[in-house]
A = this chain, B = another copy of it.
Amino acid sequence: MKGSADISDTASTHDASESGYRGEALKVLKAVHATVGDLVRITSKSGPIFEGIVMPRPALSTDELHIVIKQKSGYNVGVDIEQGASVVVLKRASEEAGGPRDGHTIAAPKRVVKGLPTVGLLSTGGTIASKVDYKTGAVSPALSAQDLYDVVPELGDVANVRAEIISNILSENMSPETWSMIAEAIGKRVIEGGVDGVIIAHGTDTMHYTAAALSFALRGLPVPVVLVGSQRSSDRPSSDAAMNLVNSAVAAGKGPFAEVTLCMHGEIGDSFSLCHRGTKVRKMHTSRRDTFRSINAKPIAKVQQGKVEMLVQEYEHRDPKRELHIQAKFDGKVGLVKTYPGITADLIDSLIDEGYHGIVLEGTGLGHIPEKLYESVKRANEEDVVLVMTSQCISGRIDMNVYSTGRELLAMGVVPW
Protein backbone atom coordinates (compact mmCIF):
# COMPACT_ATOMS: atom_id res chain seq x y z
CA MET A 1 0.00 0.00 0.00
CA LYS A 2 2.01 2.88 -1.28
CA GLY A 3 -0.17 5.85 -0.37
CA SER A 4 -3.21 6.11 1.85
CA ALA A 5 -4.74 8.73 -0.44
CA ASP A 6 -4.93 6.26 -3.31
CA ILE A 7 -8.64 5.81 -3.87
CA SER A 8 -8.68 2.05 -4.13
CA ASP A 9 -6.49 1.61 -1.07
CA THR A 10 -8.64 3.96 0.91
CA ALA A 11 -11.78 2.28 -0.23
CA SER A 12 -10.56 -1.12 0.76
CA THR A 13 -9.49 -0.12 4.25
CA HIS A 14 -11.85 2.66 5.34
CA ASP A 15 -15.55 3.28 5.40
CA ALA A 16 -16.87 6.83 5.11
CA SER A 17 -16.62 7.62 8.82
CA GLU A 18 -12.95 6.69 8.89
CA SER A 19 -12.28 9.01 5.98
CA GLY A 20 -13.21 12.17 7.78
CA TYR A 21 -16.95 12.43 7.11
CA ARG A 22 -19.13 13.37 10.06
CA GLY A 23 -22.58 14.69 10.95
CA GLU A 24 -25.12 15.11 8.19
CA ALA A 25 -22.69 14.22 5.39
CA LEU A 26 -21.79 10.93 7.08
CA LYS A 27 -25.49 10.18 7.67
CA VAL A 28 -26.35 10.71 4.00
CA LEU A 29 -23.47 8.49 2.84
CA LYS A 30 -24.21 5.74 5.38
CA ALA A 31 -27.87 5.66 4.33
CA VAL A 32 -26.85 4.18 0.98
CA HIS A 33 -23.73 2.38 2.31
CA ALA A 34 -21.54 4.64 0.21
CA THR A 35 -17.83 4.70 1.00
CA VAL A 36 -14.82 6.59 -0.20
CA GLY A 37 -13.97 5.50 -3.73
CA ASP A 38 -17.54 4.78 -4.78
CA LEU A 39 -18.91 6.39 -7.93
CA VAL A 40 -22.05 8.26 -6.86
CA ARG A 41 -24.71 10.57 -8.22
CA ILE A 42 -25.78 13.30 -5.80
CA THR A 43 -28.98 15.19 -6.49
CA SER A 44 -29.08 18.34 -4.37
CA LYS A 45 -32.38 19.88 -3.27
CA SER A 46 -31.54 23.12 -5.06
CA GLY A 47 -31.35 21.35 -8.39
CA PRO A 48 -27.85 20.53 -9.65
CA ILE A 49 -26.83 16.90 -10.09
CA PHE A 50 -23.23 15.82 -9.58
CA GLU A 51 -21.52 12.56 -10.48
CA GLY A 52 -18.13 11.48 -9.27
CA ILE A 53 -15.94 9.46 -6.94
CA VAL A 54 -16.41 10.06 -3.19
CA MET A 55 -13.19 11.59 -1.85
CA PRO A 56 -11.98 11.38 1.75
CA ARG A 57 -12.03 14.43 4.06
CA PRO A 58 -9.27 15.51 6.45
CA ALA A 59 -9.71 13.99 9.93
CA LEU A 60 -9.52 17.50 11.42
CA SER A 61 -12.29 18.85 9.23
CA THR A 62 -15.31 20.14 11.14
CA ASP A 63 -17.41 20.47 8.00
CA GLU A 64 -20.53 18.29 8.29
CA LEU A 65 -22.44 19.62 5.32
CA HIS A 66 -20.43 18.77 2.21
CA ILE A 67 -19.63 15.58 0.35
CA VAL A 68 -16.52 15.97 -1.77
CA ILE A 69 -16.50 14.11 -5.09
CA LYS A 70 -14.02 13.94 -7.93
CA GLN A 71 -15.96 14.58 -11.14
CA LYS A 72 -15.22 12.99 -14.47
CA SER A 73 -13.52 16.26 -15.48
CA GLY A 74 -10.96 15.55 -12.77
CA TYR A 75 -12.19 18.61 -10.92
CA ASN A 76 -13.21 18.06 -7.29
CA VAL A 77 -16.36 19.64 -5.96
CA GLY A 78 -17.82 19.89 -2.45
CA VAL A 79 -21.57 19.25 -2.80
CA ASP A 80 -23.62 21.22 -0.28
CA ILE A 81 -26.17 18.92 1.38
CA GLU A 82 -27.48 21.41 3.92
CA GLN A 83 -30.89 21.67 2.22
CA GLY A 84 -31.06 17.90 1.81
CA ALA A 85 -29.77 15.72 -1.02
CA SER A 86 -30.19 12.21 -2.35
CA VAL A 87 -27.23 9.97 -3.08
CA VAL A 88 -27.25 7.00 -5.45
CA VAL A 89 -24.26 4.65 -5.70
CA LEU A 90 -23.55 4.00 -9.39
CA LYS A 91 -20.54 1.76 -8.88
CA ARG A 92 -18.89 0.54 -5.71
CA ALA A 93 -15.15 0.76 -5.34
CA SER A 94 -15.16 -2.80 -4.00
CA GLU A 95 -16.52 -4.07 -7.35
CA GLU A 96 -13.28 -3.03 -8.94
CA ALA A 97 -10.81 -4.34 -6.39
CA GLY A 98 -7.85 -5.96 -8.05
CA GLY A 99 -8.71 -4.88 -11.59
CA PRO A 100 -8.25 -1.75 -13.62
CA ARG A 101 -10.95 0.93 -13.34
CA ASP A 102 -13.30 1.54 -16.23
CA GLY A 103 -12.97 4.53 -18.50
CA HIS A 104 -15.28 6.69 -16.48
CA THR A 105 -13.06 6.85 -13.48
CA ILE A 106 -9.53 5.64 -14.03
CA ALA A 107 -7.86 5.26 -17.39
CA ALA A 108 -6.02 2.04 -18.02
CA PRO A 109 -2.48 3.23 -17.34
CA LYS A 110 -0.69 1.51 -20.16
CA ARG A 111 -3.20 2.06 -22.92
CA VAL A 112 -1.59 3.50 -26.05
CA VAL A 113 -3.91 5.32 -28.40
CA LYS A 114 -2.85 5.66 -32.01
CA GLY A 115 -2.79 9.20 -33.33
CA LEU A 116 -2.12 10.79 -29.96
CA PRO A 117 1.23 12.41 -29.26
CA THR A 118 3.60 10.71 -26.86
CA VAL A 119 4.62 12.77 -23.88
CA GLY A 120 7.23 12.05 -21.22
CA LEU A 121 6.06 12.97 -17.72
CA LEU A 122 8.89 13.36 -15.22
CA SER A 123 7.71 13.85 -11.67
CA THR A 124 10.06 15.72 -9.35
CA GLY A 125 7.74 16.24 -6.36
CA GLY A 126 5.59 19.08 -5.03
CA THR A 127 1.87 19.65 -4.57
CA ILE A 128 0.90 18.28 -7.94
CA ALA A 129 2.40 15.03 -6.66
CA SER A 130 1.10 15.38 -3.13
CA LYS A 131 -1.50 13.82 -0.89
CA VAL A 132 -3.35 14.90 2.20
CA ASP A 133 -2.66 13.15 5.47
CA TYR A 134 -6.21 12.40 6.52
CA LYS A 135 -5.23 12.14 10.16
CA THR A 136 -3.68 15.61 10.46
CA GLY A 137 -5.02 17.45 7.44
CA ALA A 138 -1.47 18.33 6.37
CA VAL A 139 -0.27 17.95 2.78
CA SER A 140 2.87 15.99 2.06
CA PRO A 141 4.45 14.67 -1.13
CA ALA A 142 3.55 11.14 -2.10
CA LEU A 143 1.79 10.43 -5.38
CA SER A 144 3.88 8.86 -8.08
CA ALA A 145 3.81 9.94 -11.70
CA GLN A 146 1.70 6.85 -12.34
CA ASP A 147 -0.77 7.96 -9.65
CA LEU A 148 -1.06 11.34 -11.35
CA TYR A 149 -1.93 9.58 -14.53
CA ASP A 150 -4.43 7.40 -12.66
CA VAL A 151 -6.31 10.20 -10.95
CA VAL A 152 -6.50 12.36 -14.07
CA PRO A 153 -8.00 10.00 -16.64
CA GLU A 154 -8.47 12.78 -19.22
CA LEU A 155 -4.70 12.74 -19.65
CA GLY A 156 -5.27 9.60 -21.70
CA ASP A 157 -7.49 11.54 -24.09
CA VAL A 158 -4.80 14.01 -25.12
CA ALA A 159 -1.54 12.08 -25.02
CA ASN A 160 0.10 8.72 -24.48
CA VAL A 161 1.98 9.48 -21.30
CA ARG A 162 5.18 7.77 -20.23
CA ALA A 163 5.39 8.60 -16.56
CA GLU A 164 8.50 8.35 -14.41
CA ILE A 165 9.48 9.55 -10.94
CA ILE A 166 12.88 11.19 -11.05
CA SER A 167 12.85 12.68 -7.54
CA ASN A 168 10.60 13.43 -4.59
CA ILE A 169 11.84 16.87 -3.65
CA LEU A 170 9.73 19.64 -2.22
CA SER A 171 9.88 22.83 -4.24
CA GLU A 172 11.65 24.80 -1.50
CA ASN A 173 14.43 22.20 -1.37
CA MET A 174 15.32 22.42 -5.05
CA SER A 175 18.91 23.45 -5.74
CA PRO A 176 21.34 23.93 -8.62
CA GLU A 177 22.25 20.22 -8.29
CA THR A 178 18.58 19.31 -8.78
CA TRP A 179 18.42 21.51 -11.87
CA SER A 180 21.32 19.54 -13.35
CA MET A 181 19.63 16.24 -12.49
CA ILE A 182 16.35 17.34 -14.10
CA ALA A 183 18.14 18.66 -17.20
CA GLU A 184 19.96 15.34 -17.60
CA ALA A 185 16.71 13.38 -17.17
CA ILE A 186 14.96 15.48 -19.80
CA GLY A 187 17.96 15.12 -22.07
CA LYS A 188 17.87 11.34 -21.73
CA ARG A 189 14.20 11.23 -22.69
CA VAL A 190 14.60 13.59 -25.62
CA ILE A 191 17.80 12.06 -26.97
CA GLU A 192 16.39 8.51 -26.69
CA GLY A 193 13.61 9.83 -28.89
CA GLY A 194 10.04 8.76 -29.24
CA VAL A 195 8.54 11.65 -27.28
CA ASP A 196 6.79 14.63 -28.81
CA GLY A 197 7.40 16.69 -25.69
CA VAL A 198 8.25 16.43 -22.02
CA ILE A 199 6.27 17.52 -18.94
CA ILE A 200 8.04 18.19 -15.65
CA ALA A 201 5.74 17.96 -12.61
CA HIS A 202 7.27 20.31 -10.05
CA GLY A 203 6.38 22.13 -6.84
CA THR A 204 5.23 25.68 -7.54
CA ASP A 205 7.32 27.54 -4.92
CA THR A 206 10.51 27.53 -6.97
CA MET A 207 9.23 26.19 -10.30
CA HIS A 208 10.14 29.48 -12.04
CA TYR A 209 13.75 29.23 -10.85
CA THR A 210 13.94 25.71 -12.30
CA ALA A 211 12.25 26.88 -15.51
CA ALA A 212 14.90 29.58 -15.96
CA ALA A 213 17.74 27.16 -15.18
CA LEU A 214 16.45 24.59 -17.68
CA SER A 215 16.09 27.31 -20.33
CA PHE A 216 19.83 27.89 -20.12
CA ALA A 217 20.72 24.20 -19.71
CA LEU A 218 18.81 22.74 -22.66
CA ARG A 219 20.36 24.09 -25.87
CA GLY A 220 18.86 23.25 -29.21
CA LEU A 221 15.67 21.66 -27.92
CA PRO A 222 13.79 19.76 -30.65
CA VAL A 223 10.47 19.53 -28.72
CA PRO A 224 8.57 21.46 -26.01
CA VAL A 225 9.54 21.09 -22.36
CA VAL A 226 6.65 22.11 -20.13
CA LEU A 227 6.85 22.56 -16.36
CA VAL A 228 3.63 22.16 -14.46
CA GLY A 229 2.54 22.30 -10.86
CA SER A 230 -0.55 22.68 -8.77
CA GLN A 231 -1.54 25.25 -6.17
CA ARG A 232 -3.97 22.84 -4.48
CA SER A 233 -3.34 19.15 -4.11
CA SER A 234 -5.08 16.76 -6.43
CA ASP A 235 -7.43 15.28 -3.86
CA ARG A 236 -8.72 18.62 -2.58
CA PRO A 237 -11.86 20.33 -3.82
CA SER A 238 -10.91 23.05 -6.30
CA SER A 239 -7.61 21.37 -7.12
CA ASP A 240 -6.02 22.73 -10.25
CA ALA A 241 -3.90 19.61 -10.77
CA ALA A 242 -6.13 17.92 -13.34
CA MET A 243 -6.54 20.88 -15.69
CA ASN A 244 -2.89 21.85 -15.37
CA LEU A 245 -1.73 18.32 -16.20
CA VAL A 246 -4.09 17.93 -19.15
CA ASN A 247 -3.23 21.32 -20.64
CA SER A 248 0.50 20.85 -20.12
CA ALA A 249 0.17 17.49 -21.94
CA VAL A 250 -1.57 19.29 -24.80
CA ALA A 251 1.20 21.92 -24.88
CA ALA A 252 3.99 19.33 -24.71
CA GLY A 253 2.36 17.00 -27.23
CA LYS A 254 1.04 19.48 -29.77
CA GLY A 255 2.63 22.87 -29.07
CA PRO A 256 4.53 24.15 -32.14
CA PHE A 257 7.27 25.65 -29.95
CA ALA A 258 10.50 23.98 -28.83
CA GLU A 259 11.25 25.98 -25.72
CA VAL A 260 11.18 25.55 -21.97
CA THR A 261 7.85 26.89 -20.73
CA LEU A 262 5.70 26.74 -17.63
CA CYS A 263 2.01 25.95 -18.14
CA MET A 264 -0.54 26.90 -15.46
CA HIS A 265 -4.00 28.47 -15.04
CA GLY A 266 -4.46 31.64 -17.10
CA GLU A 267 -7.13 33.05 -14.76
CA ILE A 268 -8.77 31.95 -11.53
CA GLY A 269 -11.44 29.93 -13.35
CA ASP A 270 -10.86 26.80 -15.38
CA SER A 271 -11.25 28.26 -18.85
CA PHE A 272 -7.67 28.24 -20.15
CA SER A 273 -4.00 27.82 -19.33
CA LEU A 274 -1.04 29.96 -20.35
CA CYS A 275 2.46 28.86 -21.31
CA HIS A 276 5.09 31.27 -20.03
CA ARG A 277 8.70 31.40 -21.22
CA GLY A 278 10.99 29.80 -18.67
CA THR A 279 13.17 32.90 -18.37
CA LYS A 280 10.25 35.32 -18.04
CA VAL A 281 7.94 33.76 -15.48
CA ARG A 282 7.47 34.36 -11.76
CA LYS A 283 5.18 33.10 -8.99
CA MET A 284 3.25 36.22 -8.01
CA HIS A 285 0.64 35.03 -5.48
CA THR A 286 0.85 32.61 -2.56
CA SER A 287 -2.42 30.80 -3.31
CA ARG A 288 -4.15 31.88 -6.53
CA ARG A 289 -4.31 29.30 -9.29
CA ASP A 290 -3.18 31.86 -11.87
CA THR A 291 -0.18 32.71 -9.70
CA PHE A 292 2.38 32.47 -12.49
CA ARG A 293 2.79 35.55 -14.65
CA SER A 294 5.10 36.53 -17.47
CA ILE A 295 7.15 39.55 -16.38
CA ASN A 296 8.16 42.17 -18.98
CA ALA A 297 6.83 39.80 -21.66
CA LYS A 298 3.68 38.19 -23.00
CA PRO A 299 2.91 34.52 -22.34
CA ILE A 300 3.92 32.61 -25.45
CA ALA A 301 0.86 30.38 -25.81
CA LYS A 302 -2.68 29.79 -24.63
CA VAL A 303 -4.06 26.27 -24.15
CA GLN A 304 -7.80 25.79 -24.29
CA GLN A 305 -10.03 22.83 -25.13
CA GLY A 306 -7.22 20.70 -26.44
CA LYS A 307 -5.76 23.42 -28.67
CA VAL A 308 -2.56 25.47 -28.47
CA GLU A 309 -2.78 29.07 -29.69
CA MET A 310 0.52 30.93 -30.05
CA LEU A 311 0.43 34.44 -28.56
CA VAL A 312 3.82 35.56 -29.89
CA GLN A 313 5.21 35.52 -33.39
CA GLU A 314 8.83 34.81 -32.59
CA TYR A 315 9.63 31.51 -30.98
CA GLU A 316 11.81 28.47 -31.49
CA HIS A 317 9.86 26.06 -33.69
CA ARG A 318 9.51 22.35 -33.00
CA ASP A 319 12.04 20.42 -35.09
CA PRO A 320 12.56 16.71 -34.31
CA LYS A 321 15.87 16.78 -36.18
CA ARG A 322 17.46 19.46 -34.01
CA GLU A 323 20.25 18.16 -31.81
CA LEU A 324 19.97 18.79 -28.08
CA HIS A 325 23.05 19.89 -26.15
CA ILE A 326 22.93 19.91 -22.38
CA GLN A 327 24.89 22.51 -20.45
CA ALA A 328 23.79 21.75 -16.96
CA LYS A 329 26.72 22.73 -14.79
CA PHE A 330 25.51 25.29 -12.29
CA ASP A 331 27.85 27.02 -9.88
CA GLY A 332 26.49 26.49 -6.36
CA LYS A 333 28.67 29.33 -5.08
CA VAL A 334 26.37 32.07 -6.32
CA GLY A 335 24.30 33.95 -3.76
CA LEU A 336 21.49 36.48 -3.74
CA VAL A 337 21.25 39.50 -1.46
CA LYS A 338 18.13 41.63 -1.41
CA THR A 339 18.88 45.14 -0.15
CA TYR A 340 16.66 47.09 2.25
CA PRO A 341 16.86 50.32 4.26
CA GLY A 342 19.37 49.76 7.04
CA ILE A 343 21.19 46.85 5.41
CA THR A 344 24.84 46.69 6.44
CA ALA A 345 27.76 45.14 4.61
CA ASP A 346 27.43 41.95 6.72
CA LEU A 347 25.47 39.92 4.16
CA ILE A 348 27.68 40.67 1.16
CA ASP A 349 30.87 40.35 3.19
CA SER A 350 29.81 36.95 4.54
CA LEU A 351 29.39 35.62 0.99
CA ILE A 352 32.75 37.03 -0.11
CA ASP A 353 34.35 35.49 3.00
CA GLU A 354 32.81 32.11 2.12
CA GLY A 355 34.47 32.15 -1.29
CA TYR A 356 31.40 32.82 -3.42
CA HIS A 357 32.04 33.35 -7.13
CA GLY A 358 29.07 35.60 -7.80
CA ILE A 359 26.38 37.55 -5.99
CA VAL A 360 23.09 38.76 -7.42
CA LEU A 361 22.18 42.09 -5.82
CA GLU A 362 18.45 42.66 -5.71
CA GLY A 363 18.64 46.43 -5.46
CA THR A 364 15.93 49.08 -5.55
CA GLY A 365 14.41 51.01 -8.45
CA LEU A 366 16.52 51.14 -11.59
CA GLY A 367 19.39 49.31 -9.86
CA HIS A 368 20.63 51.03 -6.72
CA ILE A 369 22.01 49.92 -3.39
CA PRO A 370 22.92 51.93 -0.28
CA GLU A 371 26.20 53.83 -0.44
CA LYS A 372 27.46 52.10 2.68
CA LEU A 373 27.73 48.86 0.69
CA TYR A 374 30.17 50.43 -1.80
CA GLU A 375 33.26 49.29 0.12
CA SER A 376 32.06 45.69 -0.12
CA VAL A 377 31.27 46.16 -3.81
CA LYS A 378 34.85 47.33 -4.39
CA ARG A 379 36.19 44.42 -2.37
CA ALA A 380 34.11 41.97 -4.42
CA ASN A 381 35.47 43.47 -7.61
CA GLU A 382 39.06 43.21 -6.35
CA GLU A 383 38.53 39.57 -5.36
CA ASP A 384 36.91 38.68 -8.72
CA VAL A 385 33.47 38.06 -7.25
CA VAL A 386 31.01 38.96 -10.00
CA LEU A 387 28.21 41.27 -8.81
CA VAL A 388 25.06 41.35 -10.94
CA MET A 389 22.36 43.94 -10.33
CA THR A 390 18.65 43.24 -10.59
CA SER A 391 15.63 45.08 -9.15
CA GLN A 392 13.22 44.17 -6.38
CA CYS A 393 10.57 46.18 -8.26
CA ILE A 394 9.74 42.96 -10.19
CA SER A 395 8.66 44.70 -13.44
CA GLY A 396 10.57 47.04 -15.72
CA ARG A 397 14.19 47.18 -16.76
CA ILE A 398 17.37 47.99 -14.88
CA ASP A 399 18.94 51.26 -16.05
CA MET A 400 22.06 52.24 -14.18
CA ASN A 401 22.80 55.24 -16.39
CA VAL A 402 19.99 57.47 -15.15
CA TYR A 403 21.28 58.35 -11.69
CA SER A 404 24.83 59.10 -10.62
CA THR A 405 24.66 56.26 -8.07
CA GLY A 406 23.97 53.76 -10.83
CA ARG A 407 26.91 55.11 -12.81
CA GLU A 408 29.18 54.83 -9.79
CA LEU A 409 28.21 51.18 -9.37
CA LEU A 410 28.84 50.50 -13.06
CA ALA A 411 32.28 52.08 -12.64
CA MET A 412 32.89 49.70 -9.72
CA GLY A 413 32.26 46.72 -12.01
CA VAL A 414 28.65 45.87 -11.15
CA VAL A 415 26.94 44.14 -14.08
CA PRO A 416 23.40 45.41 -14.85
CA TRP A 417 20.78 42.74 -15.67
Q: Which residues in A have some Cβ–Cβ distance to B below 8 Å?
A: 133, 138-140, 170-176, 178-179, 204-206, 209-210, 213, 283-288, 291, 330, 332, 334-344, 346-347, 349-351, 354, 362-372, 391, 393-399, 401-405, 407
Contacts and interface: CB of A to CB of B under 8 A. Distances in A.
Best-buried of A139, A354, A403 by chain B (most CB within 10 Å): A403
Query: Looking at A343, A354, A369, A405, which has the most chain B CB atoms within 10 Å of its CB?
Result: A405
A169 B210 CA distance: 39
Contacts of A391: 286
Contact of A347 (B350, B366, B369): B350
Copies of chain A in the complex: 2
A393 B283 contact: yes
B172 A206 contact: no
A395 B286 contact: yes
A371 B341 contact: no
Contacts of A394: 284-285, 394
B404 A140 contact: yes
B285 A407 contact: no
Given A138-B403, A286-B397, A364-B283, A335 B341 contact: no
B365 A403 contact: no
Contacts of A397: 286-287
Contacts of A178: 341
Contacts of A363: 172
A209 B340 contact: yes
In the A-B complex, list the 6 residue pairs whose CB atoms are closest, starting with the nearest. Answer: A286-B396, A350-B350, A205-B364, A205-B365, A172-B368, A338-B338
A396 B288 contact: yes
Contacts of A369: 172
Contacts of A346: 335, 350-351, 354
Given A170-B405, A336-B343, A346-B350, 20 more contacts: A138-B403, A170-B368, A170-B371, A172-B365, A172-B371, A175-B341, A176-B342, A206-B364, A285-B396, A286-B395, A286-B399, A287-B366, A287-B399, A288-B395, A332-B342, A334-B342, A335-B347, A336-B338, A344-B354, A349-B350
A142 to B, nearest CB: 11
Nearest to A172: B368
A250 to B, nearest CB: 26
Nearest to A209: B341
B206 A395 contact: no
A304 to B, nearest CB: 25
A27 to B, nearest CB: 29
Nearest to A286: B396
Nearest to A203: B365
Given A172-B405, A205-B368, A391-B286, A362 B347 contact: no
Contacts of A206: 340-341, 364
A334 B210 CA distance: 30
9 contacts: A138-B401, A138-B402, A138-B404, A172-B364, A178-B341, A284-B395, A336-B338, A344-B354, A349-B350
A349 to B, nearest CB: 8
Contacts of A338: 336-338, 362
Contacts of A403: 138-140, 170
A332 to B, nearest CB: 5
Contacts of A172: 339, 363-365, 368-371, 405
Nearest to A178: B341
**Most B CB atoms within 10 A — which of A175, A336, A342?**
A342
Contacts of A283: 364-365, 393
A184 B139 CA distance: 48
